Amino acid sequence: MVIFVTQDPECLFCKIISGAIPVDFVFQSQSVVAFNDINPQAPTHVLIIPTIHVENIADLAQISPEVTAELFTIARGIAAERGLVGYRSILNTGADAGQSVFHAHLHLIGGRSLAWPPG
């Protein structure tokens, strides 16, 4: 199996991982980090991302099912820490789905009642 351990110097989230753009990390491990979204859509809006540069969650699932699963495990942990009654995990994949940063990320959104269906 080929393992991609890459960073893209042009990628916003790679710059956050490297510390070039400072953020307050909510969670940090070798494989995954989490930080607050700059434009929160709810009282909790955390981005949970792999430390390797991969364009989207579908590619991450191919490359590393383990790290993909970690994103969800960490989302559960943060939601539990904060006592969220429910939360939404959002994985925008591709431009038509609203993906604007092409480094895989899970949006953890909660802390208020959320409408369905999404727009």
Of 10 and 66, CB closest to Zn ion: 10
Instruction: From 119, 93, 102, 116, select the one nearest 11 (Cα to Cα).
Output: 102
Question: Are 118 and 51 in contact, with CB atoms under 8 Å apart?
Answer: no
Q: Is 103 in the site for Zn ion (CB under 5 A)?
A: yes
Task: Count Cβ atoms below 10 Å from residue 51 Cβ, excluding itself.
Answer: 18
3-state secondary structure of 110: strand
- Residue 112 beta carbon to Zn ion: minimum distance, rounded to whole angstroms: 29
- Residue 99 beta carbon to ligand 5GP: minimum distance, rounded to whole angstroms: 4
Of 1 and 118, CB closest to ligand 5GP: 118
Positions that interact with Zn ion (CB under 5 A):
8, 11, 13-14, 53, 103
